[in-house]
Amino acid sequence: MLGFLFSPGLALGQAATPPTAESLTLEQCVDYALENRAAVEQALLDEAIGDREIKANLSGWFPQLNATYGGTHNIKLQQQPFGDQIITLGQKYTSNVLLEANQTLYSSELLLASKAARFSRLQLDQQTLNTKINTVVEVSKAFYDVLLTQEQLRILNVNLARQEKQYNDAKSRYEVGLVDKTDYQRAAITLANIRSDIKRAQEGIKAKVAYLKQLMGLPIEQEVELVYAYDKMEQAVLVDTSEVIEFANRVELQQLQTQQQLLQLNTAYNKWSFLPTVSAFGNYNWLFFNDQFSKLYSQSYPTSAVGLRVSVPIFQGTRRIQNLRIAQLQEDRLDIEIENTRKAINTEYQTALANYKSDYTEWRTLQTNLEMAQEVYDIIKLQYDEGVKAYVDLIVAESELRTTQLNYYNSLYNVLASKLDYQRALGNIDINP
């Protein structure tokens, strides 16, 4: 999984249980999320529900068995005149037990369900696939965000230690009369700003870790410690920008094409609705009659029958014609949506490619700037220690170095995120281990 992000040495097995803090790599985060994220679990449940619904729709092809019981107390029996006599028909108590079997031989509705079952299952699979693709991208971005914020915190802590030393040096120089108090006051201001940035980064990491745990489906109480080699992360930014987009690889378009197949079947069904429904039936009916309730079931008079039932829809007030036209218009509307989706995918691809190229260029630029900022700071620090440069020059150089360091890691995150967006636009996100 995620072969585009890892070298072979980084690949680890799938984690079925919450991974330990010592081994929480990007691939483990993604693998765990693909099994435990709420959205993935819901998609899998939707798939199971849909499969049951398909089976329920197809159950009409099986024989339908029904048992019916009835009992009647005839308070006033029917009377019928025969010549000059009045004859009372029936008995005071009647009852029956009917067992009936019905087998559908042809039904346009069941035929539609049979033909649509494959596409309905495919549609459910594609929805789950789409959820997993989004999970890979979102978890990867959240993983990088946490790691790079932690690296920014490390940079700030290094700057804090360095600035504390400079503050103490400046204060000592002031106390022995070598400089005025503005040097150590500037150092105090810078020191306070760094401590504020550190606090902000620490709180930001907490929120970002909580978001990553949410995406992964990790228990709230589970500790998270991420493991990744930053040099590998820098290597992972590369991607082939000459690859041509294949619209067929996008699951969103695949979903629409599957929906198109279902709509075509629905149109066919509305044409088939003109055909009759044919079924065979058989029944066995136990009849009971008596004027005394206690003896009602002492004697039965069974009847049975088998036959063929044909139901022909003759006229339904143009309902079938209107439904057929609606189905055809729905197909036309989906054709427009498919074409518009192709255009939207192309726009997404062009935007993702442009963002990746610009983010990559910015990252490379900041790599060079970082080297130069470090070199400038080292030179000015040496000159300050020798009394050649003023303290304000050292403060400016240090501020520029810190800003460049932080911007560098921001740019690294941006290019990694842009790469993921670009690969999703191409349809190249792999969710299989």
For residue 275, give the DSSP letter: S
Residues 84 and 221 in one domain: no
For residue 1, give the DSSP letter: -
Query: Is it the case that residue 2 has pLDDT exceeding 70?
Result: no
93-107 pLDDT, tens digit per residue, is 999 999 999 999 999
Query: Is it the case that residue 10 has pLDDT exceeding 60?
Result: no
Helix (H, G, I), strand (E, B) or coil at 282: strand
Between CA 47 and CA 53 the distance in angstroms is 10
CATH number of the domain at 81, please: 2.20.200
Predicted TM-score (pTM) of this structure? 0.82
Residues 148 and 262 in one domain: yes
146-164 pLDDT, tens digit per residue, is 999 999 999 999 989 988 8
Calculate ∠ Cα 262-267-270, nearest 5°: 125
Residues 306 and 319 in one domain: no
Rounded average pLDDT over 174-184: 74
Flag whether 349 is in a domain: yes
As a three-state string, the secondary structure of 11-28 is: CCCCCCCCCCHHHECHHH
Rounded average pLDDT over 415-425: 95
Strands 78-82 and 85-89 turn out to be antiparallel
37-91 pLDDT, tens digit per residue, is 999 999 999 999 999 999 999 999 999 999 999 999 998 888 888 878 888 888 8
Flag whether 4 is in a domain: no
Task: Please report which confidence band the pLDDT of residue 9 belongs to, taking 50, 70 and 90 as the band edges.
Answer: very low
Flag whether 162 is in a domain: yes
Q: Compute how many other C-beta atoms are within 10 angstroms of the C-beta atom of residue 165.
A: 11
For residue 226, give the DSSP letter: B
Query: Is it the case that residue 433 has pLDDT exceeding 60?
Result: no
